[in-house]
Structure 1
């Protein structure tokens, strides 16, 4: 699956990750969208390179799940870094 597909998945995955992990994040909707895109790319990379050996392709449920997993990882890391820098 191409990088543009993972970016598109990332937009949607970012919204779902925010729904799964509600809370107050700095930056608002723009930062959430960017985190979702980065998470979608991370999920695509994890799914194709590390776990599935290139078996993730196309718009399907498994690809979407990987995008959401990536967005959740990025959102959690972002929150950990943000809270540490404010303390």
Structure 2
């Protein structure tokens, strides 16, 4: 059951990050899940130690954990846009 919740929350985080970065028309549901989960990993490595919280990958479904995961997903999309187009938009 925890895996299903993890995938759903990861998909929602990826979707919100794609809305923020204006890439929502370019990616589907599966890519949203991947962006959310990989973004949470990035947030867990770089942002969580500075803020003293976890991410959705560490089963921290609190508001700070969700925010760190969202910020990591936004950073991931910015890096992808920078590599793909040469601009972060």
1:51 partnered with 2:50: yes
Question: Larger Cα Rg: Structure 1 or Structure 2?
Answer: 1
1: distance between equivalents of 2:45 and 2:6? 9
1:1-87 map, 5 Å: 9-23=9-23, 28-29=27-28, 30-48=30-48, 50-53=49-52, 55-56=53-54, 58-84=60-86
Give me the TM-score of the superposition, normalised by structure 1. Answer: 0.67
Give CA-to-partner distance per residue, 1:7-44, whole Å, 9 cap, x none.
Answer: 66432211110111213775x21333322221011112
Q: How many residues are paired up?
A: 78
Aligned equivalents of 1:63, 1:83: Cα separation in 2: 30
Q: TM-score, structure 2 length as denominator?
A: 0.65
Q: CA RMSD in A?
A: 2.7
Say which SS state the counterpart of residue 40 (structure 1) adopts.
helix
Q: Aligned partners of 2:25, 2:85: CA distance in 1, in Å?
A: 10
Any unmatched runs of 5+ in structure 1?
none
- Following superposition, the deviation at residue 47 of structure 1 comes to 3.9
Which protein, 1 or 2, shows the higher relative CO under an 8 Å CA cutoff with sep ≥ 6? 1
